Amino acid sequence: MDMLGTRDVYGKTLVELGRESENIVVLDADLASSTRTNYFAREFPHRFFNMGVSEQDLIGTAAGLALAGKLPFVSSFAIFLAGKAWEQIRQSICIPNLNVKLVATHGGITVGEDGASHHSTEDFALMRVLPNMTVICPADGVETEKVIREIAKHQGPTYVRLARPKFPVVLDDAYQFQLGRSFTLRQGKDLTMIATGIMVYQCLRAAEELDKEGVSAAVVNMSTIKPIDAPAIASAVRQTGAILTAEEHSVIGGLGSAVAEVVSQNCPAPMKIIGVDDLFGVSGNADKLMAHFRLTYPYIAEGARQLLKRK
């Protein structure tokens, strides 16, 4: 299985975009070596601004650059961007609806050993609730490149969540990312798994497990969390009658909530939300934490079995 670092792909794609457009500027807050914006910094030092450990200033400065006609890409770790600078994002980017691209790395709990302070299981909720904001979490490195290219064309505030570890590649190069559109990776009859980020891979594994038991699960990559692909959710309900969601995020306020908002109001059906329970992270190796927080495929398969009993 090919592995690709979503942040590595981001760093490389930014450099390509920088070559294609003079208008792109990049800002970071003393994590450029980790977010990979240092690739851009090396090639375009005059269009790169390292703001130091000042996330709130980072956001305000990006807003000013956008006002002045630049296209800012802004990076830090997910919790320091979405969390530390949340109200600045709300006031200075979302209310004025400015064209600022927030690309956070180190989302979720696969941040690993750094522990609770550095994990981010709240960012989908924090960003999704902001009017004008678009929220995207790519499934792998292949999709990351397409997402970064697409949001450079799209107008408006955007939050993209990437990860620390490398992800297995689940999409092929021919895949076309369309903002606001989900993508069905696997057809199924008995239930639909709707996932984002690393959980797309875990759901594909879970679907293989279930297949052995004669359960046919569809797997949908919902990389755009907002605006959510409501028509795709409705058709999944029509086709399979049961929805499982999976995300490397709190079970509160993220993809599961977004899908439930559609299902409960437009097309009621039994649901199971897989994610991090209402707990803070702990230190540990990323793979061990995935199991510790019950995000790996055996737990997803178990969730699916429970869900089918309620169908």
Partner 1 sequence: MKLSPEKLKELKETARICRRDILRMTTLAGSGHPGGSLSCIDILVTLFFARMRHDPRQPKWEDRDRFFLSKGHSCPALYAVLSRAGYFPVEELDTLRKLNSILQGHPDMLYTPGVEVSSGSLGQGLSIGNGVALAAKVDHRNIKVYIMLGDGECQEGMVWEAAMTSAQHKLDNLCAFVDYNRLQIDGWIDDIKSLEPLQLKWESFGWKAIIIDGHSFEEIWQGLMEADRTKGKPTVCIARTVKGKGVSFMENQAKYHGMALTPEELSRALKELE
| Pairwise CA distance, residues 170 & 184, whole Å | 12
Q: How buried is residue 181: exposed, middle or buried, by Cβ count under 10 Å (0-12/13-18/19+)?
A: middle
Identified catalytic residue from 20, 55, 150, 213 = 55
Determine the Cα angle at 273 with ends 208 and 83, to 5°.
120
Residues that bind ligand TPP (CB under 6 A): 30-31, 53, 55, 80, 84
Choose from ligand TPP, partner 1, none: what does 51 bind? Cβ within 5-8 Å by kind: partner 1
Residue 288 near which of ligand TPP, partner 1, none (CB within 5-8 Å, type-dependent): partner 1
Question: Residue 8 or 261: which CB sits closer to partner 1?
Answer: 8
Measure Cα distances from 245 to 14, 149, 179 in Å.
31, 27, 19
Calpha distance 225→135 (Å, rounded): 5
Query: Kind and range of the H or E element at 43?
Result: helix 37-43
CB of 10 or CB of 201, closer to ligand TPP:
10
Least distance from ligand TPP to the Cβ atom of residue 58, Å: 10
Measured from the CB atom, the residue of 30 and 302 that comes closer to ligand TPP is 30
- Between 49 and 159, whose beta carbon lies closer to partner 1? 49
> Whole-number minimum distance, CB 88 to partner 1, in Å?
10
Cα–Cα distance, 84 to 103 (Å, whole number): 14
Residue 30 C-beta: closest distance to partner 1, Å: 5
- Taking Cα atoms as reference points, which of 63, 94, 78 lies closest to residue 29? 78
* Among partner 1, ligand TPP, none, residue 67 binds (CB under 5-8 Å by kind): none
- Give least dist CB 106 to ligand TPP, A: 10
Tell me, yes or no, if 55 is annotated catalytic: yes
Residue ranges that bind partner 1, judged by CB under 8 A? 28, 30-34, 38, 50-57, 79-80, 83-84, 112-118, 282-285, 288-289, 292
Query: To the nearest whole angstrom, how small is the minimum distance from the Cβ of residue 55 to ligand TPP?
Result: 6
User: Cβ(163)–Cβ(107) under 8 Å?
Assistant: yes
**Residue 179 partner contact from partner 1, ligand TPP, none using kind-dependent CB cut-offs of 5 to 8 Å:** none
* Chain position carrying tokens 């052995």: 212
Which CB, 83 or 241, lies closer to partner 1?
83
Q: Which of partner 1, ligand TPP, none does 116 bind, CB closer than 5 to 8 A by kind?
A: partner 1
Report the SS3 class of residue 184: strand
CA distances from 254 to 196, 238, 302 (A): 10, 23, 21
Active centre residues (catalytic): 55
